[in-house]
Each structure stands twice: as structure tokens, then as C-alpha cells.
Amino acid sequence: MLSQGFVSAAAIAASVLFILSLGGLSNQEKAKRAVWYGIAGMAVAVLFTALGPGIGAHWLMLPLIAIGAAIGWVVAKRVAMTEMPQLVAALHSFVGLAAVFVAWNADLERRRVLAARALDATHQEFSAFAALVATKAPDELTFLQLEVIFAIFIGAVTFTGSVIAFGKLAGKVDGKARQLPGGHLLNAGAAVVCLVLAIAYLNGAGFWTLLALAALAFFIGYHLIMGIGGADMPVVVSMLNSYSGWAAAAIGFTLSNDLLIVTGALVGSSGAILSYIMCKAMNRNFVSVILGGFGGSQGPAAEIEGEQVAIDAGGVASALNDADSVIIVPGYGMAVAQAQNAVSELTRKLRSAGKEVRFGIHPVAGRLPGHMNVLLAEAKVPYDIVLEMDEINDDFATTDVVIVIGSNDIVNPAAQEDPNSPIAGMPVLKVWEAKQVFVCKRGQGTGYSGIENPLFFKENTRMFYGDAKASIESLLPQID
């Protein structure tokens, strides 16, 4: 058994590793090393926490850790890059549910200590946590109760919200914004009742108040995320990431665990900052995101005129051979089709022919920031030709050919032209300004938001139907 001082030193070391991990993820070239920092930090955290003072039942703990690690390994190996957003949402749900269970247990232990004090049972054996509670003064116990309330509320909202986010991202739940009659008033009413229950709990009400509080928070999480449309789910995942961090921090205060406090604060603050950045990128109000008050349509959508005109591989290849400048806009469809290597080879051939080739990346392409950048980096696409939306958006008007591969909502002109569109105001890549646009798409279906894209009907747009990987590979032999 290690001393508390040694465990505290290990917690500081783990915290430094976590900070290095977050810092390294800002650069593609350093990202792999940053992930290893995170892995090492978590290994240190788990090992030294398990060996810390007052921790027992290792015969039960070690098999559970091994089972959990094995499950995590298997799941991670099976999950494709395209499924990473829903995996992240699922992992957030685990953090939220764990916070609820730990908070419930903390209150039960608090009640046990108070009962023992009432009976003057000074020789009663306590768990490590109960022994900690037994040293607290009355005012400190009040703070403990506040921590329990916060952990249960945030944890429960995170759990059900993350489950619904997972369902929407995985296509198991309808991506459209749906709410029960009463809409946000139901959420507000449930929140008010939660406040009443919290006050009752602080004034000595029974454990049932915490059960009811959790039930209402479960509902709020479910109803908040159900009321958010599919096009805004990337921001939701980031927001839930922040929630899970604050839930973990609350549990850290409850357990007097410095590492949980630091780690939870890191996750909570970084998730909140990322949510804010994504809200700016999508022209969404940050407060509205937190309250689940966005994502639905705002009126009847504008009528779309024209028809979708198809083109074959020969036509696309001919246009590419004649072009001097090409911009490729990848999206979720490219990831699903695993077409990044074919795209990389097409890029190499076009550049070898003396053409300027660049990539335009939307901040939330692929449903999570950096998704497309990672795929393209794995396929050996040079970093210097992969540009963010703000860096390349003004160049579409002087570009000969744009190839859109599996993108829909992030190139939808309705965001700028239709104030009633569910994505109205969202910054998009202005691909329609190019001389020619070729959209590589599997079929005529709508995008993730469930709305039609006027781009597909414009005169300078041609639809290159088929599997993205097969379609791009069919172009390669025809590029001079």
C-alpha cells in the first residue's frame, strides 16, 4: 500500500501527461505521440489510485479492470474511423452513468456515517470513503451534498443525452429534431422540479429525492438531444464531452480525488472551448446549444428548381485533364467508402500533370473536427495543400473544377440563400462559385440533416453517382 504523498505525486505526473496529450493533439504530426501521453497518464492514474491508502478488495478490482480493458480493446479495434463520433458519444454515456452511481453511493455512505454517529458507534468499521466522510464537519457535509446533487444531475443528463446522440449518429434514431408536446417548457419544468428536490434533500429528505432527481435529469438529457437536428450533432457530441468532464470533476470533489478533479476540469473546459469554436464555425448560439434550443426548421423551405444531371467517369476525367486548378472537398461519404487512398492517388496524378490541387475542409466535416484531416494524413496527402474553410473559401470563384466527395450539408447553398433552412446561417464551402462542380455521391438521398441540397440542381453541377472509392478509382486510368 502506497502513502498518500506518493499517490499525490503520481496524480501530478498523470495530470502533466494529460495536459501534454491535449496540447499535442492540436498538431497532426504530434498527434500520435500525444495519444501515447494520454495512455501513459491514464495507466499511472489507475495504477496508483488502486494502490493508494484505504483501497482494498484488489482481488475483485483487478479482474474487473482486466475485463474492462479487454472490452475496450475489442471495441476500439472493431470501430472504423467513420464510427468514431458515435463511439465518443457512447463513452461519454459511461462517464455520466458512473457519476450517478458514485454519487448515490456517496450519499448512502454519508447516511451510514451519520447513523453511526447517532448510535455513538465509534468502533464500527467504515469503507475508505465512509472513513473520509466521518472526518468531515457539518458544513463540510453540506458541501458534500451539493457535490452529490451536481454529479447526479450533470451525470444523468450526460448519460441519456449521449445515448440519444449515439443513436442519431449511428442512424438508429431519427436525425430530425423531435420533441414532446410542450417542447422546452417540459425541460424547464423538469429542471425546476430538480431544484425543489435538491432543496428538499439538503433539508433532510430521504434518499428517494436523489432517485427522483436522477430520473428527471435522465428525461432532460433525453429530451434535450432529441430536440436537436442531425446537422448540429457534431456540436452536441462536443458539448456532451464537456458535460462528462464536469461530472467527473464533481465526483473528484466528492471522493477528495485530486486527479479526478484535474482530469474532469481539463475535459470539461476543453470540451466547452471546442463547443464554442464549433458554434462559431456553424454560426450557432453557444447558449442555445447548451439548452438544446436549435436544430429545427424555421419555416417552409425554398422551392428548388431544375434537375440533377448525371455524368460518367469519362466526362469528369476530361474536365480534370482540361483544368488548371482543382479543389477537392471530402466529407463523411468519403470516409464511409474508405476512398481516401484513391483520392490521394488522384491528387498525385493531377499534381504530376502540373495542375494545382488543394483540399477544402469544413470545420465539422465528417461529424467531428479533424476527422477529414486524419484520414487524408493517413493516405499521405501533403499537409500544405489541406486548407481550412476560411483559407480557401474565397478561391472557389477562380477555380476550374471542384470535386465534392461524399459531402452534403457543408456545401449546401441553402445555408446562405434560404433563411428558412434548418442550416440557415451555417458557414459552408462555396463550391457552387467554381466553373464546374462534380458531386461524387452514392444516390439522390438527402444529407445527414435530412434536407435537400440546391447545389445538385445548379447548371454548373454534375452528379457523379456511385461508390466514392470505385468512382475515384475509375478516374485514375483516364488522367493524362
Q: 130: pLDDT confidence band, cut at 50, 70 and 90?
A: low
Instruction: Determine, yes or no, domain membership for 318.
Output: yes
DSSP string, 28-56: GGGHHHHHHHHHHHHHHHHHHHHTSTT--
pLDDT > 90 fraction of the chain, expressed in percent and rounded: 30
Q: What is the phi-psi region of residue 361: left when phi exceeds 0, alpha when psi lies from -120 to 50, beta otherwise?
A: beta
Residue 368 vs residue 417, higher pLDDT: 417
Overall average pLDDT of the 460-464 stretch: 93
Set of cell numbers at residue 87: 463511439
Q: What is the residue range of 456's domain?
A: 313-478
The per-residue pLDDT of the chain, averaged, comes to 83
Instruction: Determine, yes or no, domain membership for 136.
Output: yes
Specify whether 332 is located in the same domain as 464.
yes
pLDDT > 70 fraction of the chain, expressed in percent and rounded: 85
Specify whether 247 is located in the same domain as 387.
no
Specify whether 120 is located in the same domain as 240.
yes
Specify whether 66 is located in the same domain as 3.
yes
Specify whether 165 is located in the same domain as 204.
yes
Instruction: Determine, yes or no, domain membership for 242.
Output: yes
Cβ contact 393:329 at 8 Å: no
Set of cell numbers at residue 301: 423551405
Separation CA 100–CA 434 (nearest Å): 52
Sheet holding 461-465, edge to edge: 386-388, 356-361, 325-330, 401-405, 436-441, 461-465
Name the domain count of the chain: 3
CATH code at position 386: 3.40.50.1220
Specify whether 174 is located in the same domain as 280.
yes
Q: 296: pLDDT confidence band, cut at 50, 70 and 90?
A: very low
Could you tell me the pTM of the whole model? 0.74
Specify whether 333 is located in the same domain as 223.
no
Specify whether 65 is located in the same domain as 115.
no
Range with the lowest mean pLDDT among 11-25, 106-120, 254-268? Answer: 106-120
Instruction: Determine, yes or no, domain membership for 141.
Output: yes
Among candidate residues 107, 409, 418, 467, the one labeled active-site is: 409
Separation CA 370–CA 366 (nearest Å): 8
What digits encode the pLDDT tens for the residues 211-233? Answer: 999 999 999 999 888 887 666 67
Which of 290, 305, 325 lies at the terminal end of a domain, its last residue?
290
Separation CA 408–CA 395 (nearest Å): 20
At residue 436, the 3 state secondary structure works out as strand
| 134: pLDDT strictly greater than 70 | no
Specify whether 209 is located in the same domain as 336.
no
Specify whether 283 is located in the same domain as 388.
no
Specify whether 2 is located in the same domain as 149.
no
Instruction: Determine, yes or no, domain membership for 380.
Output: yes
Set of cell numbers at residue 109: 455512505
Overall average pLDDT of the 417-436 stretch: 85
Separation CA 471–CA 403 (nearest Å): 12
Overall average pLDDT of the 139-163 stretch: 89
What digits encode the pLDDT tens for the residues 53-71? Answer: 767 777 888 888 889 889 9
Q: What is the model's pLDDT at position 300? A: 56
Instruction: Determine, yes or no, domain membership for 341.
Output: yes
| 191: pLDDT strictly greater than 90 | yes
Q: Is 322 a catalytic residue?
A: no
Q: What is the model's pLDDT at position 398? A: 95
Which of 56, 78, 100 lies at the terminal end of a domain, its last residue?
78
Helices 208-226 and 138-169, axial angle in degrees (round to 10): 30
Instruction: Determine, yes or no, domain membership for 304.
Output: no
Q: Dihedrals φ, ψ of 299, to 5°?
A: 155, -175
Instruction: Determine, yes or no, domain membership for 61.
Output: yes
What digits encode the pLDDT tens for the residues 3-32? Answer: 767 778 888 898 889 888 888 776 666 777
Q: What is the model's pLDDT at position 67? A: 92
Overall average pLDDT of the 158-169 stretch: 88
Cβ contact 218:159 at 8 Å: yes
Specify whether 124 is located in the same domain as 213.
yes
Which of 78, 106, 137 lies at the terminal end of a domain, its last residue?
78
